[in-house]
Structure 1
């Protein structure tokens, strides 16, 4: 067993390592996209016929793949100085909780839906999981905390104003003679 380190923090990764990991991540998802798409097209061409519905859904899957991959490659684009030295490594695609994680999930979902739709066209309905998850994240992270937020605690100034208002209300409004 390795001896414990002085600090319990995770070691930070260097910019070059992030660039290399981003390239391997992009390559993995590129292979996943091509594998699912080519498998689908070959089997559909041999065993089944393309209807208007399947052509439309296949085109939509292709657009989702293209947009997702282009977005990830744009995020991971590294910037170099003229001398060739790395200036910015781009966004880490393997960062937990980042937007790239959701884009990777969309690629995985679309690949699964595409391949499973060879079994039955009802598997296309699994694509509805993406907007449902987006609505769930919107509710949990934005809407619910905003609606159910505790009112701000009164400050000392507010308390003084409240006491003054209560004293004013306790006094009679008119004077009797």
Structure 2
């Protein structure tokens, strides 16, 4: 194992981010299309008689998730160009660890796995319940939890002076 690098971590260039974002959006679009096609073909060939309105609803829900995630990835990774057609901003890096793109990619992966496994059994549709559970966990761990359990602000020097002044006033009134 090589020793850790000293100094600043290397950063990606704008063109590299643009190329990687395009490849990422295309890869996850193809993943969604592949899972939808596989489910549609297998269901149409083998389970045509047992398709219910509930299954159609879940299928449309997953497809809406795919479209929504695809549009979000395209929107947040949209590059900005200057008047001279020079790249000014490559958009948000979809492959950045811990970023918004990572969460959107996780949604596409879970939806695709659910879609493919639903061919085997309709009980696999329950995997979609992991999406709101994960959303609540992220909301709690990043926003609500720290907000509820943050420590009270420490007394500053000015607060200490105000407290002593108030104590002196109270002593005067008690005498």
Deviates more, 1:36-45 or 1:7-16: 7-16
* Alignment match, 1:156: 157
Equivalent position SS for 2:174:
coil
Query: 5 Å matches for 1:34-45?
Result: 34-45=33-44
* Alignment match, 1:141: 142
Shift of residue 112 of structure 1?
0.6
Shift of residue 171 of structure 1?
4.6
* Count of matched residue positions in the alignment of Structure 1 and Structure 2: 173
Cα 1:165–1:125, aligned 2, differ >3 Å: closer, same or farther? Answer: same
Structure 1 length normalisation: TM-score? 0.89
Q: 1:78-124 CA deviation, whole Å, 9 max, x = no partner? A: 12234332222111111111111100000001001111111111111
Deviates more, 1:64-73 or 1:164-173: 164-173
Cα 1:2–1:130, aligned 2, differ >3 Å: closer, same or farther? Answer: closer
Pairwise CA RMSD: 2.0
* Alignment match, 1:129: 130
Please state if 1:31 is matched with 2:66. Answer: no
Residue ranges of structure 1 left out of the alignment (5+ in a row): none
Structure 2 length normalisation: TM-score? 0.90
Q: 1:20-75 CA deviation, whole Å, 9 max, x = no partner? A: 11111111111111110000000000111321011110011111100100110111
Deviates more, 1:91-100 or 1:71-80: 71-80
* Alignment match, 1:11: 10
Cα 1:69–1:172, aligned 2, differ >3 Å: closer, same or farther? Answer: closer
Query: Which structure: larger Rg?
Result: 1
Cα 1:84–1:125, aligned 2, differ >3 Å: closer, same or farther? Answer: same
